[in-house]
Every structure is written in structure tokens, then in C-alpha cells.
Structure 1
Amino acid sequence: MIRWIWAFLDRPAAQFDDGVAFWTTVTGTTLSERRGDRDEFATLLPDYGAPTLKMQVIDGPPRIHLDLDVDDVQAATDHALALGATLAGDYILTQRIGYSVLHSPAGMTFCLTPFREPMGGLAPTVTGPAGDRSRVDQICLDIGTSDYAVESRFWTDLTGWAWRPASLPEFSRLSARPGVPVDLLLQRLGGDRPTSAHPDIACTNVDATADWHEALGAKRIQRGKQWQVMTDPAGQTYCLTGRTPA
């Protein structure tokens, strides 16, 4: 059983500080003390309520990976492997320090990590300069066409969360609410490539939020009917969506 989900904003060292400045502002958070052998980890802390975002310094291009908190890491790892995941890197090391790093059947990196304590209630929404309100409330998994059926089944079985269709046929959603405030959105892409992820921010006014984010260094990429595709200052894709930030 997945008890909590963390979305890691992985950034190269040269872009980490700019990423911190942008993401703490748009999420209304402050950065925790950095930790790890190389001070590579930090948590984005809201004024109150449950944190769900962390940041990590990595070697390589910016990306998103997920940490899934579980009661028993070894049992959850065995379950994930039985569902089609593969271990990444030196499992002897990760086993020694208490977590496992895996890839989904179509290549999405995720970690199984020990659940320590309840995170608390819902964090506050963020109010932009124009009065628009927003909140990161889901992580979208971008899945290639050929992998969509297998990958969707994998994440549904791994999480045990409730599956439901979305308003468009290329989307479906996994939700553990009210226990976990971040959903997983499964998106079927128009072509094939390894699965990746991006954050979705629910907004009361997509255009006003996009204006604010642009002033902070983000860029508009593509406008959809109910969403705006953006890139942050490091070039990482995210979306602003026209949904009520609960």
C-alpha cells in the first residue's frame, strides 16, 4: 500500500538555485535545510499542512521522479518487481540505506521509501499577484502510445489507488484522496518514448497564473482548451490546468 507520494524536482547543480527560487515562490513554500552526503536533498515546506514536493541535485538534465512511501520497502519492492518493474543501479547500496530505486515497465524512475509518520492536512493554496489561486495537485505520467496499457495497469496495481477516466480519452486518473492530496494523471502520448512525468498546477485563472509564472522566468509553450503547457527556468515542462485548487 502506498502511504504517501513525493514528487522530486531533480535539477543539475548549475540550475538548482534558480529552480528553488521559482518553485518555492509558485508553491508558497520555503526550502528546508539541505541534507545528504553532498547536500543534494531538500523539501519544499508550506506554512502549514502536508509537504509533497522535494528537490534534488543530480548529474544530467532536469526531470521528475517519484518517491512512494510504504510500510515495508522490501515487500513493496518484491511486489513492484512482480508487476514488471526493474531495479536500477546498485541495489545492495539502496537496500543497505533503506530504500529501493526502480524503473517502471516503460522506464519511469521511482523510489520505494519508508513511511515514517502522517504528513498532516492540506497545504494552503497560493495566491498570485492578480488574485488567482493555484496548487500543485497532481503529477502527470506521460506514457508512449504502445506502452499505455501496460504502464497504466502497472501504476494502478502498484498504488492500489482508485482509477477513473478523465474528460478526454487520452487521460485517466489514479487518486488516493482524501488520504494523499496529490493524484496521478496518466496521459497517453501521440508517439512512443520512455515514460516521464511533469507537475500539474490547478488554477482558478490559467492565463493570470501563466503571466505571473512568466514574470518569474517560466515560458509559455502551448495553450490547450483548459490548460497551458509551461517550462520552468530549467526547461522542465509543467502544466497549468483550469481546475479548482481544492
Structure 2
Amino acid sequence: MHVRWLTAFFDFPAAEFGPEVTFWRAITGSTVSPPRGPAKEFATLEPFHGDPYLRVQRVDDGPGGMHLNLHVDDPAVGAAEAEALGAIPESTADDGVITMRSPVGGIFCLVPWTSGEEVRARPIRWPGGAISIVDQLRFQVPSAAFDAEVNFWSVLTGKGPIDTTDLDEVALNNSPRLSLQVVILRTDESEPSAHTALAANNVADEVERHEDWGATLVSRDAESAQMADPAGRLYCITRRNPRTGL
């Protein structure tokens, strides 16, 4: 499958939608597009430079979460490939978007690629000198399903099988033509989940900026900080080069 673009979708419960959009707009330095969809449930976080790769959705049921959109030339062909690798079809929308579940049960969508989805966003330099960008979507996978999930995503996105021996974290791509890097993490949790990560040149400064907007520091080590946004949604700030992701 030729993946041309990636989008991370924040799925917010209706009661949290407004405050959550405000927080993530501020943290990413984005503007928010006009709402769209039958119930005005979708919007895009527009970066100051580059093409959009973060979107928000208001959901009426459940706690929300995150999911990944893979932008491809032909979603139906991509869905057949994904199903052959163990994915489970969920639904097909009128606009051609196909919703599926990975072998471990994580939701993702295959969407038609369009022009205007090709220029990667630039990091933002904040007052004080900190530089950061949301550049990863991280899937936390139960340990028993880790090997299968890594190889599902790796084969689906064209990288091929990966030897996961003694690995607890696998980064599947770091292409300058794609908006996000996908990372699979081994976890002791019983259910899969997804969260986003920011690359920052100064973790301490970035943590302080996020706390000013209502986030809470959950844990911290020399290289990263785990944060909770105002609604309790977990995410990470990591000390990596915001321009290269390394």
C-alpha cells in the first residue's frame, strides 16, 4: 500500500469537545477550521506552515480516544490488503472512508488522498526559545499482541516484517514526506490505546508551557515527560530534534 499522508484524529466526547479543541489548538499553535460533517462534528487543526495532519471529532458515545487515518489512492484496495493481513472491516462511508480495526482491535481509517496533503508542518519556536511539534502517534499494544501488531502495521505500510526480539518500542517510519511517525509500544495494559507525542528541544520549558494551558505533569525522566491534558487525556513530550524527529 502506498501511504501518501497520515492524519491523527482526536476523538473528543461531546462534553469535553470545546475545551479540548481550545487546549490542543493552543499547544500546537494551530487555527481551527470551520466545522463540517452532518452534525458539524469534525474540524481541522490548521498548522501555521504546511498541510493539515491533526483533526478533531466530537463523539456521542464512549470516552473517545485517538485514531489514525491513512491517506491512500484507493481505500478499497487498501482495505483488501489490510483485511488479508488480519484487519477487521467496520464500515464504509459515502465519502469513501473505510473504518477498520487492526488485529489487536485498534481503530484506523483508510481515506482517499487528495492534493494539498503533502507538505510536512514545521515546528514552532515559542517565546523563550522552546521549539516543538506534534510528530508521533503512539499505539500502546498488550504484550501478547505486540509482535503481531508491529508486523501488521509494518507490512501494511510497506516496510516489511520486523524482528521484534527484545524490543518494547518500534518506530515504523520517519519519512520527510509524511506528516507523522507511527510508533508501536509494548504495554502491560490489557486493552490497546493511542496517544500523541511532541518532539521538543527543551522538555522542561515545554512542560511549563503546557501547564500554563491547564495540562498536568504525570511523570518525568531525563528524556521525556508524560502529561495529562485538562480532560485527563495522556500524551508525551520527548527530547528529540523537532525538525528531524531524531
**TM over 0.5, yes or no?**
yes
2:234 maps to 237
1:200 maps to 197
String of CA shifts for 1:153-183, please: whole Å, max 9, x gaps. 00001111488899x9311111151210311
Q: How many residues align?
A: 240
The one-letter amino acid paired with 2:203 is V
Gaps of 5+ in 2: none
1:139 maps to 137
Deviation of the 1:185 alpha carbon = 1.0
Whole-angstrom distance in 2 between the partners of 1:27 and 1:147: 32
* Paired residues of 2:5 and 2:118 also in contact (CA < 8 A): no
2:206 maps to 209
Secondary structure of residue in 2 paired with 1:187: strand
1:47 maps to 48
* Paired residues of 1:163 and 1:172 also in contact (CA < 8 A): no
Secondary structure of residue in 2 paired with 1:208: helix
2:5 maps to 4
**CA shift in 2, pair 1:129/1:163, >3 Å:** farther
2:185 maps to 187
Identity %: 37
Gaps of 5+ in 1: none
Which TM-score applies when normalising by structure 2?
0.92
* Paired residues of 2:20 and 2:230 also in contact (CA < 8 A): yes
Which TM-score applies when normalising by structure 1?
0.92
* Paired residues of 1:161 and 1:176 also in contact (CA < 8 A): no
Give the ranges of 4+ consecutive aligned residues of structure 1 lying more than 3 Å apart after TM superposition.
161-166
Whole-angstrom distance in 1 between the partners of 2:161 and 2:215: 32
The 5 Å alignment of 1:67-146 reads 67-88=69-90, 91=91, 94-146=92-144
> Which range moves more in the overlay, 19-28 or 114-123?
114-123
Q: Does 1:15 align with 2:12?
A: no
String of CA shifts for 1:40-77, please: whole Å, max 9, x gaps. 00010012212110000012213001111111111111
Structure 1 counterpart of 2:64, from 50, 53, 62 = 62
1:218 maps to 215
Whole-angstrom distance in 1 between the partners of 2:133 and 2:88: 32
Deviation of the 1:188 alpha carbon = 0.9
**CA shift in 2, pair 1:119/1:95, >3 Å:** closer
Secondary structure of residue in 1 paired with 2:83: helix
Secondary structure of residue in 1 paired with 2:172: strand
Whole-angstrom distance in 2 between the partners of 1:162 and 1:100: 23
> Which range moves more in the overlay, 168-177 or 208-217?
168-177
The one-letter amino acid paired with 1:52 is Y
Q: Does 1:36 align with 2:37?
A: yes
String of CA shifts for 1:81-135, please: whole Å, max 9, x gaps. 10001112xx3xx254311111101011001111111424232322334321100
Please give the root-mean-square deviation of Cα atoms over the aligned residues, in Å: 1.9
Whole-angstrom distance in 2 between the partners of 1:107 and 1:193: 11
Deviation of the 1:234 alpha carbon = 1.8
